């Protein structure tokens, strides 16, 4: 049959919070969250940070009209800022489908195509000409999108966020960003100036969330994880809703994942620091039989299980 | 008077090796004279500036004034990360345009709303923050500077241009301007320096040619260009400016991120 069962993952944006230009981010990349997942004949985009602009230029060059499916983890600015600059949005022949939590949809419509549009986006953002639709999805659903099996699950982040497991052929991938660990703080929908003490009910909610994440990730090949903070930084900012490489390794180990990709790097983490981080956590990962990589802009990884046949032919 | 451009990009930040010479941060300009300081716009360039402020008096509590030309994202993107906002005791005044759409404070609140920012709103900033709509066309005294703001042509948005003087030197700043009129002439006339946007590098719509023409009409001896398009490489910008500079006796150059400009 010659059917290619591989799944490839390309990083277009690897930063959290805001884009970081300059000489110290050239190797790692300075754009915010955006990942492209490809199989033979299909594509998913996860998150629409500033990295999405570059992906849109590639798609426009190849004349791909879509439908372009974008899964959003949540709608904080660093995950949606690239959307108005996504070239297919201005193409009357293209279609763009945005999948995300219901809590985000109304607000996102106002920002992307509604009342807030002229006050926020500069004039080089042209009108939306593509067929644009919003598809509300919820944790626990099992969906088929662009030929991928997609399983969304709940994460621990201010105002709510969703992670995704994506399966296709011999490929399996989990996107776990943005999330705090499932212990110190339970994020809800109010502002947190500091960590709030957990109630017994909060602890149960976190334990259940953690259990669901591990069950969903069971046996997955590659995990892309929000490791915004190093542990010494996390100690000061535990209420910001981001994790450390230690938290990520613990979850990956319990789920039996093969590879951890450190992702959503803090803006202050320059190329030298990321090289150190990669060396440090590769050593820790090897003790647990988990390969560890730092997500770097422009790099492509294969998320397929090589123990299974690459091709059904 | 000293001036530092902390963000030289318009529209969208430009990480990458092709942009490190002039810089890839979105727009922010700092002006200092004696003890006075003004910050113009809060693009991502304001974040490295913020780090230097917090290392000084704004780490302990001090006053600060910020002029906003308008609320496009490349001018307010740094707001949630501008660290003086998180220091109790800082008193920060934001001065910006009145628009037909909504009060300025409401627009900034929309940018921080809980869906899009974990800050949820200006009220959660530790500093005391006030937002005022600027009275256009009158001379205001802000942090010891004389400031005049006037609306300039910018698509269908209201963007402000500024004329700022410390009593000895005067700079005219218009980063987002799509054409020239009486307001831009009023801002620029007799200034020592024109800071002008350069979104379009060449052709009939060239922003560089428009900046030089305004400087010639308004008797401004020096032009510094900034607010470059996100895809314009260092090489392309410098080539376009060199070509345009050869056509005039006015000193024309490109802003370089974080390099101080004495005036």
ipTM for this prediction:
0.95
Between chains, do A191 and B119 touch, taking CB under 8 Å as contact?
yes
Between chains, do A77 and B116 touch, taking CB under 8 Å as contact?
yes
| Coil, strand or helix at B235 | helix
CA closest to A120 among chain B residues: B72
Quote the pLDDT of residue A4. Answer: 65
- Looking at beta carbons, which residues of chain B come within 8 Å of A50? 12-13
Quote the pLDDT of residue B157. Answer: 81
Quote the pLDDT of residue A168. Answer: 95
pTM: 0.96
Quote the pLDDT of residue A313. Answer: 34
Place of tokens 């090897």: A286
Residues 114-173 of A with CB under 8 A from B: 116, 118-125, 158-159
Q: What is d(CA A88, CA A57) in angstroms, rounded to the nearest whole number?
A: 8
Q: By CB neighbour count within 10 A (0-12 exposed, 13-18 middle, 19+ buried), where does A79 fall?
A: buried
Is there a contact between B28 and B39 (Cβ–Cβ < 8 Å)?
A: yes
Task: Give the nearest partner residue to B20 out of A23, A124, A193, using CB atoms.
Answer: A23
Contacts of residue A158, defined as CB under 8 A and 6 or more positions apart, other chains included, come to A76, A187, A189, A192, A241, B114, B118
Contacts of residue A197, defined as CB under 8 A and 6 or more positions apart, other chains included, come to none
Quote the pLDDT of residue A107. Answer: 85
Q: By CB neighbour count within 10 A (0-12 exposed, 13-18 middle, 19+ buried), where does A7 fall?
A: buried
* B71 touches A: beta carbon within 8 Å: yes
pLDDT in tens, A79-107: 999 999 999 999 999 999 999 998 888 88
Q: Indicate which of A78, A123, A125, A126 best probes the interface with B, i.e. most B CBs within 10 Å of its own CB.
A: A123
* A75 touches B: beta carbon within 8 Å: yes
Between chains, do A118 and B101 touch, taking CB under 8 Å as contact?
yes
Task: Give the nearest partner residue to B72 out of A22, A122, A158, using CB atoms.
Answer: A122
pLDDT in tens, B40-63: 999 999 999 999 999 999 999 999
Structure tokens at B235: 């090489």
Q: Indicate which of B41, B118, B127, B200 best probes the interface with A, i.e. most A CBs within 10 Å of its own CB.
A: B118
Structure tokens at A109: 């419509």
Q: What is d(CA A220, CA A226) in angstroms, rounded to the nearest whole number?
A: 17
Partnered with residue A15 across adjacent β-strands are A32, A265
Q: What is d(CA B15, CA B17) in angstroms, rounded to the nearest whole number?
A: 7
Of B180, B141, B181, B196, residue with least CA distance to B164: B141
- Looking at beta carbons, which residues of chain B come within 8 Å of A297? 15
CA closest to A104 among chain B residues: B115
pLDDT in tens, B72-96: 999 999 999 999 999 999 999 999 9
- Looking at beta carbons, which residues of chain B come within 8 Å of A269? none
Distance from CA of A275 to the nearest CA of B (A): 18
User: pLDDT by residue for chain B (263 residues), tens digit each?
Assistant: 999 999 999 999 999 999 999 999 999 999 999 999 999 999 999 999 999 999 999 999 999 999 999 999 999 999 999 999 999 999 999 999 998 888 999 999 999 999 999 999 999 999 999 999 999 999 999 999 999 999 999 887 889 999 999 999 999 999 999 999 999 999 999 999 999 999 999 999 999 999 999 999 999 999 999 999 999 999 999 999 999 999 999 999 999 999 999 99
Structure tokens at A232: 């010494």
Residues of chain A with pLDDT below 50 are: 1-3, 308-313
Of A180, A189, A243, A255, residue with least CA distance to A217: A255
Quote the pLDDT of residue A307. Answer: 62
Quote the pLDDT of residue B242. Answer: 97
Q: Phi/psi at B245 (nearest 5 deg)?
A: -65, -25
């Amino acid at each position: 049959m010659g059917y290619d069962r591989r799944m490839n993952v390309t990083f277009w944006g690897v930063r959290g919070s805001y884009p970081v230009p300059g000489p110290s981010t050239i190797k790692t990349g300075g754009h915010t969250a955006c990942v492209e997942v490809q199989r033979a004949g299909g594509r998913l985009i996860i998150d629409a940070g500033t990295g999405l602009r570059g992906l849109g230029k590639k798609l426009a060059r190849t004349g791909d009209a879509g439908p372009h499916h974008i899964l959003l983890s949540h709608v904080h600015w660093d995950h949606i800022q690239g959307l108005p600059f996504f070239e297919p949005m201005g193409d009357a022949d293209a279609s763009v489908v945005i999948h995300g939590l219901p809590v985000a949809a109304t607000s996102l419509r106002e920002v992307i195509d509604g009342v807030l549009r002229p006050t926020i986006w500069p004039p080089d953002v042209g009108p939306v000409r593509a067929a644009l639709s919003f598809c509300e999805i919820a944790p626990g659903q099992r969906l088929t999108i662009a030929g991928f099996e997609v399983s969304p699950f709940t994460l621990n982040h201010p105002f709510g966020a969703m992670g995704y497991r994506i399966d296709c052929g011999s490929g399996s991938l989990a996107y776990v960003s943005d999330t705090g660990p499932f212990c110190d703080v339970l994020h809800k929908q109010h502002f947190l100036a500091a960590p709030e003490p957990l109630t017994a009910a909060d602890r149960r909610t976190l334990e259940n969330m953690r259990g669901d994440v591990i069950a969903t990730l069971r046996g997955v090949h590659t995990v892309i994880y929000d490791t915004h903070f190093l542990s010494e930084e996390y100690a000061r900012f535990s209420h910001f809703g981001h994790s450390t490489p230690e938290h990520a390794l613990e979850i990956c180990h319990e789920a039996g994942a093969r590879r951890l990709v450190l992702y959503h790097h803090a803006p202050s983490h320059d190329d030298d620091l990321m090289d150190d981080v990669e060396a440090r956590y590769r050593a820790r990962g090897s003790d647990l039989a988990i390969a560890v990589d730092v997500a770097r802009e422009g790099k492509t990884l294969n998320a397929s299980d090589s123990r299974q046949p690459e091709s059904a032919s | 008077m000293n001036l530092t451009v902390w963000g030289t990009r318009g529209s969208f930040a430009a990480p990458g090796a092709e942009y490190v010479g002039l810089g890839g941060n979105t727009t922010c300009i700092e002006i200092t004279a004696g003890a006075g300081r003004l910050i113009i716009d809060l693009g991502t360039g304001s974040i490295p500036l913020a780090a230097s402020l917090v290392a000084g008096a704004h780490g302990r509590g001090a006053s600060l004034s910020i002029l906003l030309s308008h609320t496009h994202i490349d001018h307010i993107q740094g707001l949630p990360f501008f660290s003086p906002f998180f220091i109790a005791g800082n008193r920060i005044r934001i001065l910006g345009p009145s628009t037909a759409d909504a009060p300025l404070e409401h627009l900034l609140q929309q940018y921080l709303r809980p869906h899009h920012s974990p800050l949820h709103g200006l009220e959660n900033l530790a500093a005391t923050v006030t937002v005022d709509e600027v009275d256009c066309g009158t001379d205001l005294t802000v942090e010891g500077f004389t400031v005049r703001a006037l609306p300039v042509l910018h698509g269908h948005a209201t963007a402000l241009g500024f004329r700022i003087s410390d009593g000895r030197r005067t700079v005219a700043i218009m980063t987002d301007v799509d054409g020239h009129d009486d307001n831009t002439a009023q801002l620029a006339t007799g200034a020592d320096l024109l800071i002008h946007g350069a979104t379009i590098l060449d052709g009939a719509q060239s922003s560089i040619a428009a900046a030089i023409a305004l400087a010639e009409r308004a008797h401004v001896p020096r032009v510094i260009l900034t607010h470059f398009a996100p895809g314009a490489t260092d090489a392309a910008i410098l080539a376009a400016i060199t070509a345009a500079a050869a056509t005039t006796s006015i000193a024309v150059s490109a802003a370089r991120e974080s390099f101080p400009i004495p005036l």
